[in-house]
A and B are shown apart, each in its own frame.
Chain A
Amino acid sequence: MLFVKDASKENIVVRGARVIDPGEGVDAVLDVRVDDGVIAALGQNLDTNSHHVLGGEGLVLTPAFVDPHVHLRTPGREDEETIASGTAAAAAGGYCAILAMPNTDPVVDSATTLGSLIEAARTEAEVPVGFLAAITKGQAGAELTEMGELAAAGAVGFSDDGVPVAAPGLMRRALQYGAVTGRRIALHCEERTLSRDGQMHEGEVSAELGFTGYPSVAESLMVERDLALAAYERQPLHLLHLSAWESVQALRRAREEGVQATAEVTPHHLCLTDEAIRSLDPNLKMNPPLRSASDRTALIEGLKDGTITAVATDHAPHARHEKEVPFEAAPFGVTGLETAFAALYTHLVEPGLIPLEVVLERMSAGPARAYGLDEPRIAVGSAANLVLLDLNASYRIAEESFRSRSVNSWLLGETVKGKVRATISAGRLAYST
Chain B
Amino acid sequence: MAEIRVMREDLRPPSSPPRRHFISIKDVTRDDVERLLATARTLERSMQREVKKLPTLKGRLVINVFYESSTRTSSSFELAAKRLSADTMSVKSSGSSVDKGESLKDTAITLGAYDPDVIVIRHPQIGAPNLVARVTDAHVVNAGDGKHQHPTQALLDLYTMREELGRVEGLHVAIVGDVLHSRVARSLIQALALMGAHVTLVGPPALLPRGVEAMGCEATTDISAIAGADVVYVLRMQRERMQEGANYVPSLREYAARWGVTPERLRPGQKVMHPGPMNRGVEIDPRVADHADALIETQVRAGLVTRMAVLYDLLTSGPIEVKTESVLEVA
Which among B204-212, B253-261, B272-280, B319-327 touches the partner chain? B204-212
Size of the chain B interface, CB-CB below 8 angstroms = 29
A301 / chain B contacts, CB cutoff of 8 Å: none
* Residue contact B131 to A326, C-beta cutoff 8 Å: yes
* Residue contact B126 to A326, C-beta cutoff 8 Å: yes
Bound Cα distance A326, B209 (Å): 22
* Residue contact A203 to B104, C-beta cutoff 8 Å: no
Bound Cα distance A213, B105 (Å): 26
* Residue contact A213 to B209, C-beta cutoff 8 Å: yes
B214 / chain A contacts, CB cutoff of 8 Å: 204, 207-208
CB of A319 to closest CB in B, whole Å = 12
* Residue contact B186 to A279, C-beta cutoff 8 Å: no
B125 / chain A contacts, CB cutoff of 8 Å: 325-329
B5 at the interface (CB under 8 A from A): yes
- Given A206-B211, A210-B186, A279-B5, A326 contacting B104 (CB threshold 8 A): yes
* Residue contact A203 to B211, C-beta cutoff 8 Å: yes
Bound Cα distance A203, B214 (Å): 9
B128 at the interface (CB under 8 A from A): yes
Bound Cα distance A205, B214 (Å): 9
CB-contact partner of A328 in B8, B126, B211, under 8 A:
B126
Q: Which of A107-162 contact B (CB under 8 A)?
A: none
Interface string of A172-209 (1 = CB under 8 A from B): 00000000000000000000000000010011111111
B281 at the interface (CB under 8 A from A): no
A357 at the interface (CB under 8 A from B): no
A280 / chain B contacts, CB cutoff of 8 Å: 126-127, 130
A10 at the interface (CB under 8 A from B): no
A281 at the interface (CB under 8 A from B): yes
Interface string of A300-338 (1 = CB under 8 A from B): 000000000000000000000100111111000000000
* Residue contact A206 to B7, C-beta cutoff 8 Å: no
CB of B278 to closest CB in A, whole Å = 22
Complex: chain B residue closest to A212, CB-CB: B147
A413 at the interface (CB under 8 A from B): yes
A211 at the interface (CB under 8 A from B): yes
B286 at the interface (CB under 8 A from A): no
A325 / chain B contacts, CB cutoff of 8 Å: 103-105, 125, 131
Bound Cα distance A413, B145 (Å): 27
A412 at the interface (CB under 8 A from B): yes
* Residue contact A326 to B123, C-beta cutoff 8 Å: yes
Complex: chain A residue closest to B7, CB-CB: A281
CB of B315 to closest CB in A, whole Å = 25
CB-contact partner of A207 in B8, B123, B210, under 8 A:
B210
* Residue contact A210 to B127, C-beta cutoff 8 Å: no
Q: Which of A335-351 contact B (CB under 8 A)?
A: none
Bound Cα distance A413, B10 (Å): 9
CB of B261 to closest CB in A, whole Å = 23
Complex: chain B residue closest to A329, CB-CB: B125
A206 / chain B contacts, CB cutoff of 8 Å: 209, 211
* Residue contact A210 to B147, C-beta cutoff 8 Å: yes
B183 at the interface (CB under 8 A from A): yes
CB of A408 to closest CB in B, whole Å = 12
CB of B246 to closest CB in A, whole Å = 9
CB-contact partner of B128 in A202, A208, A326, under 8 A:
A326
CB of A210 to closest CB in B, whole Å = 3
Given A206-B209, A211-B126, A212-B147, 4 new contacts (CB under 8 A): A207-B209, A207-B211, A209-B126, A213-B209
B residues adjacent to A (C-beta < 8 A): 5, 7-10, 103-105, 123, 125-128, 130-131, 145-149, 183, 186, 190, 209-212, 214-215
| A-B pairs with lowest CB-CB distance, top 3 | A210-B147, A207-B209, A326-B125
**29 pairs of residues in contact across A and B, judged by CB atoms under 8 Å:** A199-B126, A202-B211, A203-B211, A204-B212, A205-B211, A206-B209, A207-B212, A208-B212, A210-B126, A210-B148, A211-B126, A211-B148, A213-B210, A215-B210, A279-B5, A280-B130, A321-B105, A324-B105, A325-B103, A325-B125, A325-B131, A326-B123, A326-B126, A326-B130, A327-B125, A327-B127, A328-B127, A412-B8, A413-B8
